[in-house]
RNA sequence: GCCCCGGUGGUCUAAUGGUCAGGACACGGCUCUUUCAAGGCCGUAGUACGGGUUCAAUUCCCGUCCGGGGUACCA
């Protein structure tokens, strides 16, 4: 492998479910890796003993897999730089910390959390910036080591070098300059022996040979600290790219609160993975032309870091829905059918068993017909109910307008059914010819017959073209439903029930 | 408070020191006709504000305002 080969990583911490903002970060890393023919590493940053959960870890895997964002090295598949769970890398951090300690780049600090809280309060009361005052900086290292060995709790702090300012080169924002006096001697190892984020992150990114770090803008302020750590560790830093935040419509940072179920909730709502990826890719990035509907491959091909915008983006669900509709239309029914099927089974519209070839074919035909108008899989399922059961609901307005309205609709429907009995072959074209002829013979306007028949067989006033619909529905169902509706009309059954007053 | 990042229609965005500032979602209207929730067409709406630099600024600079992020023994 050439040494110019790109290596990037997605490094979530498994606290709570994976949310959509993290997914966008994962996506940008994945796109960059795939575009460059590089390597994507999945690393789990579980150094927070208190907050990590196994469910959260499952959520990371599940979400990425659902979206088709695969990784080349990770906790489940290993790789040359493992392990890929930070909780299993403790010796590596300890070793790195020991090196810094030895060199005097880090020192032991025995201040308690109460001491620090007091310091902070005092500083705030005095209107000063709260920073660690460095009181343990000058402790004799040998003496400090003795106290630590004697069991006195302590943390390890990084000795901030003397410098005027810290410059962070960023692929998206150019050079970002921080004043060095903003930074105090920050903690790198907690008193429980675990490394703190900034430290573990740098040790791993350096150790795993990352060439680029693409992450959220919220991490930009911690980058200067990381840069001095790379320096102290004598490792070359990666190139940084801080992607803009995702905002709610109220312009708040998108967080777990906004979608407690996590990004997988969009699967449950009936979104296609490709649509979610397509939508997310366009939040903060654009290909530079007017294209908006992409396949995965097209996005990979078009992606580049320098076209990522620095400005935060509002997550607009309506646009995601539209994109989903576009992908629904473009995806063959045969591909959609398994997804639709599991939803129909869940909704009790289909049995859980293996479908026969005929049933499977019917489902594909229904999906091909209905996907043109649906915005989500769930909507498609909902609108397709009448294809699978005779127990479909009648739209009240539709009944009043299209069945009750023209006097004698019952006779018309029966007439239509009669002519359809003879149609062969059962194709949209043949159905239309026969249907229109029957309407003519009965002296009924085509529109009247069509509208009436639509409501009779589907209960709905909207949907695909009637003849295509009937072709899929089948002769048996069609004629039976036309006659059943006529029966019901004659019995006055449509008038019973509620809401017959306008 | 302090530090950092942003600011093109309601939203996502394109472009540019000289353009009728382009596209998409949403919204409104029209249309197709067999319905619309699909398709087509049209429309409403934008360079946050104030200074500078310049023949010319949405674009470059400064300030203001607004929004976001950070400021932990969280990540």
* Count of all residues that appear for chain A in the document: 502
pLDDT of amino acid A169 = 95
pLDDT of residue A501: 33
The mean pLDDT of chain A is 92
pLDDT, residue A52, reads 66
Q: For A110-254, where are the E strands, in sequence order?
A: 155-158, 165-170, 174-179, 187-189, 212-216, 239-243, 246-247
Instruction: Kindly report, residue by residue over A208-237, the tens digit of the pLDDT.
Output: 999 999 999 999 999 999 999 999 999 999
What is the CA A179 to C1' B50 distance in angstroms? 29
Tokens in use for A478? 């069609």
Q: What pLDDT is recorded for position A386? A: 95
Nucleotides of strand B lying closer than 7 angstroms to a protein CB: 1-8, 10-15, 22-26, 33-39, 67-75
Instruction: Determine which one of A190, A209, A253, A256 is catalytic.
Output: A256
Q: Are A438 and A413 in contact (CB under 8 A)?
A: no
Identify, with chain letter, the residue nearest to nucleotide B26 (CA–C1'): A318
CA closest to C1' of B67 belongs to A251
Output the pLDDT for position A502.
29
Could you tell me which of A165, A237, A168, A174 has the C-alpha nearest to residue A205? Answer: A237
Which residues make beta-bridge pairs with A285? A308
Average pLDDT, integer, range A91-104: 96
Give me the percent of chain A exceeding a pLDDT of 70. 97
Tens-place pLDDT, residues A10-29: 999 988 889 999 999 999 99
User: What are the pLDDT digits (tens) for A422-458?
Assistant: 998 999 999 999 999 999 999 999 999 999 999 999 9
Half-sphere CA count of A65, side-chain side, radius 13 A: 7
Provide the CA A109 distance to its chain's centre, in angstroms.
42
Nucleotide with minimal C1' distance from the CA of A165 is B3
CA dist A64 and A61 (Å) reads: 5
Closest residue by C-alpha to C1' distance, nucleotide B15: A288
Query: For every residue of A326-345, which 3-state class applies, written as one string?
Result: HHHHHCCHHHHHHHHHHHHH
Shortest CA distance to A56 belongs to which of A31, A19, A97, A2? A19
Sign of CA dihedral A353, A354, A359, A363: positive
Distance A128 CA to B42 C1' (A): 61
Cβ burial, residue A345 (10 Å; 0-12/13-18/19+): middle
What pLDDT does residue A50 have? 65
Q: Which tokens hold the place of A162?
A: 């003397």
pLDDT for res A419: 94
> Which candidate, A315, A316, A280, A312, places its Cα nearest to that of A296?
A280
Per residue in A109-121, pLDDT (tens digit) is 999 988 888 888 8
Provide, in whole angstroms, the distance separating residue A299's CA from nucleotide B47's C1': 29
Does A256 participate in catalysis according to the annotation?
yes
Give the pLDDT band (50/70/90) at residue A496: low
State, as a whole number of angstroms, the distance between the CA of A217 and the C1' of B59.
25
pLDDT at residue A500, as a whole number: 36
- Taking the C1' atom of every nucleotide in all shown strands and the CA of A224, the nearest one is B4
- Between CA A285 and C1' B13 the distance (Å) reads 9
For residue A339, CA distances in Å to A67, A136, A334, A336 come to: 14, 61, 10, 5
B/e letters for A104-135, b = 16+ CB within 10 Å, e = fewer, are: ebbbbbbbeeeebeebeeeeeeeeeeebbeee
Complex confidence, ipTM: 0.94
Residue A499 — very low, low, confident or very high, per pLDDT cuts 50/70/90?
very low
The single residue listed with the structure tokens 């750590």 is: A229
Q: A192: which nucleotide lies closest, measuring CA to C1'?
A: B73
User: CA A200 to CA A205: how far, in whole Å?
Assistant: 8
pTM, 2 dp = 0.93
What is the nearest nucleotide to A462, using C1' and CA? Answer: B35
Q: Which residue is nearest to nucleotide B73 (CA to C1')?
A: A190
Of A51-60, A272-281, A351-360, A488-497, least confident by mean pLDDT is A488-497
pLDDT digits (tens, 9 = 90+) for A165-190: 999 999 999 999 999 888 999 999 99
């Amino acid at each position: 492998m050439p040494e110019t080969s790109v290596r990037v990583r997605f490094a979530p911490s498994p606290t709570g479910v994976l949310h959509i903002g993290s997914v966008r970060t994962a996506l940008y890393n994945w796109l960059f890796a795939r575009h460059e023919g590089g390597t994507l590493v999945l690393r789990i940053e579980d150094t927070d003993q208190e907050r990590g959960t196994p469910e959260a870890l499952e959520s990371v895997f599940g979400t990425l897999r659902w979206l088709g964002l695969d990784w080349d090295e990770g906790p489940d598949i290993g790789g040359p730089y493992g392990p890929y769970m930070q909780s299993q890398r403790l010796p590596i951090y300890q070793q790195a910390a020991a090196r810094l300690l030895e060199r005097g780049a880090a020192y032991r600090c025995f201040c308690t959390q109460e001491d620090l809280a007091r310091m902070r309060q005092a500083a705030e009361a005095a209107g000063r910036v709260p920073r660690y005052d460095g009181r343990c900086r000058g402790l004799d290292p040998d003496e400090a080591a003795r106290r630590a060995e004697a069991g006195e709790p302590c943390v390890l702090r990084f000795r901030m070098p003397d410098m005027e300012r810290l410059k962070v080169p960023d692929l998206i924002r150019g050079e970002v300059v921080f004043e060095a006096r903003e930074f105090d001697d920050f903690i790198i190892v907690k008193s429980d022996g675990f490394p703190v984020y900034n430290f573990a992150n740098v040790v791993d990114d350096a150790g795993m040979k990352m060439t680029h770090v693409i992450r959220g803008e919220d991490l930009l302020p911690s980058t200067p600290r990381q840069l001095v750590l790379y320096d102290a560790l004598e490792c070359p830093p990666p190139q940084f790219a801080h992607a803009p935040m995702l905002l709610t419509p109220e312009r708040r940072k998108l967080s777990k609160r906004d979608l407690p179920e996590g990004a997988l909730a969009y699967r449950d709502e009936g979104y296609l993975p490709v649509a979610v990826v397509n939508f997310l890719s366009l939040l903060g990035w654009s290909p530079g032309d007017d294209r908006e509907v992409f396949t995965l491959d097209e996005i990979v091909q078009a992606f580049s870091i320098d076209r990522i915008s620095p400005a935060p983006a509002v997550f607009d669900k309506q646009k995601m829905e539209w994109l989903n509709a576009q992908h629904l239309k473009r995806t063959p029914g045969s591909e959609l059918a398994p997804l639709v099927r599991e939803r129909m089974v869940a909704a009790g519209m289909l049995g859980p068993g293996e479908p026969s070839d005929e049933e499977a074919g019917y489902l594909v035909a229904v999906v091909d017909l209905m996907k043109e108008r649906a915005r989500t899989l769930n909507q498609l399922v909902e609108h397709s109910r009448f294809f699978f059961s005779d127990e479909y609901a009648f739209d009240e307005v539709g009944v009043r307008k299209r069945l009750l309205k023209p006097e004698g609709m019952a006779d018309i429907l029966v007439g239509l059914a009669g002519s359809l009995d003879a149609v062969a072959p059962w194709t949209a074209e043949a159905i239309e010819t026969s249907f229109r002829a029957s309407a003519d013979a009965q002296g009924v306007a085509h529109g009247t017959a069509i509208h009436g028949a639509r409501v009779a067989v589907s209960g709905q006033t909207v949907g695909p073209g009637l003849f295509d619909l009937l072709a899929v529905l089948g002769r048996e169902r069609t004629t039976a439903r036309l006659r059943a509706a006529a029966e019901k009309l004659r019995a006055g059954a449509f008038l019973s029930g509620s809401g017959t007053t306008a």
